[in-house]
Copies of this chain bind each other. A is one copy, B any other.
Amino acid sequence: MIWNKEAECMSREELREIQLKKLQKIVKRAYENVPYYNKKYTELGVFPEDIETLEDINKLPFTTKDDLREGYPFGMFAVPPKEIVEVHSSSGTTGKPVVSGYTRKDLDDWSEIMARGLNMMGIHEEDIIQNTHGYGLFTGGFGVHYGAQKIGSIVVPISTGQTRRQIEIMKDFGTTTLIFTPSYGLYLAEVAKEEGIDPKSVGLKAIGFGAEMWTEEMRKKIENDFNAPAFNIYGLTELMGPGIAVECSSQNGLHISEDYFLPEIIDPNTGKQLEEGKKGELVLTNLEREGMPIIRFRTKDITSLHYDKCECTRTFVKMDRITGRSDDMIKVKGVAIFPSQIEKALLKIDSIEPHYQIIVTRPHLMDEIEVKVEASPDIFFDEVKEMINIKKKIEDYIENEIGLRVKVSLVEPKSIPRSEGKAVRVIDKRDLH
């Protein structure tokens, strides 16, 4: 069963027609109600009536996180305050925070897209969803919450932290679905084992993943730990929150709810649209949003789009899982490196744990990367010779992924700090200013 078959399975022609109408409407609304768009479009001499085809979106300028920051707090709202019912915000750890505003209809739409996503994961009204995403200004918790309520399943809004209690509740309530960030999921499995509970014994039906970068190898480890399929959930606060795209049962890409979001892939350097299947930066446009319509937002997320038929019969385009961020990228010795590449290499090796940290330094004018990796308890107290072999093996595997030789240090099990939210993977000690 598909949550909204009429929408999710419509033909490409019909969809494009609907998208065009919605795009024309939202560009007009943004131009008329948001000073930012009005000014920018006027300066560039591009106006709502210039959007005659979907391709005409190329005439419109991009919107960046910095643009949104400049509108802080409510400058991007397209409706008067009395129509806004909820406000979320990014953490603002890398600058002024970005505020996201929602009307009642926007919240209904958010519930709808997340309900579609949970349905793709096989969730029904009988399921018990333990939502370990944080609630608060962060959108992670609420997106899943609203979607679960729309489906009518039981949501346990436990939020992040209290890991031992999470495990107790999982067992006691008979949780069928866990929602977590990959790093918290690995931590949860680890703590459960410490407590003498096999995560497999919980009898999970599905796992929803989000808010963090991950690799197929990491997914395999988590699916194996919990003996349940893990599905990728994508979203970002600026455009709505989690649920913008979710993986279906074929687990090879995320269906974007294209009746709500218009996706493009661009070359991050030139800003030019790339053709189907090419890897580049994802650009998203709200097609329905009342409270804060965002047009051509540069997500900085690196992915590609695929329009071929999916076995699940949904016709919405599929995006690959995010393999990097245009600004997470570390440039070392001129080579662009993503933490996901290091991770991919590490997950191929049995005798280490998937906990790591990348430390970048520039001791003698030359960049150096050190990757700290936790040895598994079985091998940590083994012969030094054995340790040296594993270290060399990791260095080989990483070199194979990134094309550079790095220094690997094997560290004691559990010595790398666990995070309960997003893991800190890269420590850049270079003075790059």
A interface residues with partner B (beta carbon < 8 Å): 72-74, 81-82, 84-89, 92, 99, 101, 104, 107, 125-126, 128, 135-137, 141-142, 148-149, 152-159, 165, 169, 172-173
Cβ of A172: which chain B residues have Cβ within 8 Å of it? 72-73
B156 touches A137 (CB 8 A): yes
Smallest CB-CB separation from A125: which chain B residue?
B82
Main SS class of interface, A = mixed
Partner of A136, one of B72, B128, B142, B157: B157
- When chains A and B are docked, how far (Å) is the Cα of A104 from the Cα of B142? 17
B157 touches A81 (CB 8 A): no
- When chains A and B are docked, how far (Å) is the Cα of A136 from the Cα of B74? 27
Smallest CB-CB separation from A149: which chain B residue?
B85
Cβ of A74: which chain B residues have Cβ within 8 Å of it? 173
A157 touches B128 (CB 8 A): no
B136 touches A86 (CB 8 A): no
Cβ of A142: which chain B residues have Cβ within 8 Å of it? 157
B126 touches A82 (CB 8 A): yes
- When chains A and B are docked, how far (Å) is the Cα of A99 from the Cα of B173? 10
**Given A104-B149, A157-B86, CB of A173 within 8 Å of CB of B73:** yes
Q: Please give the distance in Å from A397's CB to the nearest CB on chain B.
A: 40
- When chains A and B are docked, how far (Å) is the Cα of A331 from the Cα of B156? 38
A157 touches B137 (CB 8 A): yes
Smallest CB-CB separation from A141: which chain B residue?
B135
A152 touches B82 (CB 8 A): yes
- When chains A and B are docked, how far (Å) is the Cα of A72 from the Cα of B101? 39
